[in-house]
Amino acid sequence: ATNRLVTDHRRRRYRLGPDGTAAEYLGTTPALPVNDTDWYRAGAARGAAGWAGPFQVGIHPVLAISAYQPFYDRAGAFRGVIATNWDLSGMSAFLRSLEVSSGCRVAVVDARGYLLADSVSDTPFTFANSSDGTGTFFRRRVNESADPAIAAAAQYLSPPPGGPSSVWRHFYVGTERYALKAAPLGEGV
């Protein structure tokens, strides 16, 4: 007997239950040849696990990053790349649940200055639906945050040339004083 992989290149999304199994069907993304995705190309080129993204998942209003891992047969020949997407709305919910000091905000920003998640009710993107069910997806830069303190912090996020990779400083929004601590997360995100 032989096994044959059959795929229609459609992504089926599920919310995982506490035991790690698919608990709730969330929808199907139209056909997408995976070898055309950033995560597949990165995994094939690097030959090692990594992160890709952030990106919009299909036509859905979902911002995600992918963890990928290339795989090989027993002879060491490349066979493909497997990946899983992490819906970043869960990160925003987690950040909102943190009990930190009064007035504190937490924002996660990518290397290009776009929001990935934050601890306020601000979403890291805007999404405009169209009549055919697709939508236009626009990511927000930090300085476009609806929260004045997060937006104002944008101008201080870059470390000084030749200085440490993290930033620690105070700044004002009106008469309110804020402290900013910014540090890089790591490669690829």
What does the domain layout of the chain look like in residue ranges? 11-87, 89-182
What's the whole-number mean pLDDT along residues 10-38? 81
Model pLDDT for residues 118-164, shown as the tens digit of each residue: 998 767 888 777 666 567 778 899 999 989 999 999 998 876 666 66
Determine the Cα angle at 48 with ends 46 and 52, to 5°: 70
What Rg, from alpha-carbon coordinates, does the chain have? 20
Neighbours of 99 (CB within 10 A): 5
* pLDDT score at 186: 59
Model pLDDT for residues 97-118, shown as the tens digit of each residue: 988 888 889 999 888 889 999 9
Percent of the chain with pLDDT over 70: 84
Give the single-character DSSP code of 160. P
**What's the CATH number of domain 11-87, 3.30.930.10, 3.30.70.260, 3.30.565.10, 3.30.450.20?**
3.30.450.20
